[in-house]
Amino acid sequence: MTDDETATLHRYLTAWGDGDVMTVLGSYHERLELRWPGSHRLSGTHSGRDAAVTALAELQAATGRVLAEVRSITPADGFADVEVVERWTVDGSIIDLPRLLRFGVRDGLIAWCSVTEHQPELVDRILG
């Protein structure tokens, strides 16, 4: 991952942490591909910015998620691994959920994101 691509991720993560929805949405490539593991209603691949944003909106509605912490950003050849903690609110309870997000950047925009769940059973149960 180049320095420019890493800078794109930093801008995106800062906007997400700040709740700057317009900058977050503006960070997505039109061919964005979002890949979620698991056996819940949002599992699978969401191809195209509109489909990915729709899935993210469903996740937001179900969890009220916010970015609580960026633990690390590890650039590699063609992607970067980002360890985050998301704070989800489910049925009045707050859950701090660590996740690994693997990002690819193209044309200065987030082109793909693949999620690895550290607590897959919990995510499956919450998202049904």
Instruction: Summarize pLDDT for 89-108 with one digit per residue, the tens.
Output: 999 999 999 999 999 999 99
Position 66 scores a pLDDT of 96
Position 77 scores a pLDDT of 93
Structural domains in the chain (count): 1
Position 81 scores a pLDDT of 97
Gap between the Cα atoms of 127 and 8, Å rounded: 29
In terms of pTM, does the model score above 0.85?
Answer: yes
Parallel/antiparallel/unpaired status of strands 28-36 and 79-90: unpaired
Domain containing 75: what range? 3-127
Which CATH number characterizes residue 101's domain? 3.10.450.50
Tell which residue, 85, 78, 70, has the closest CA to residue 103. Answer: 78
pLDDT category at 31 given cuts 50, 70, 90 is very high
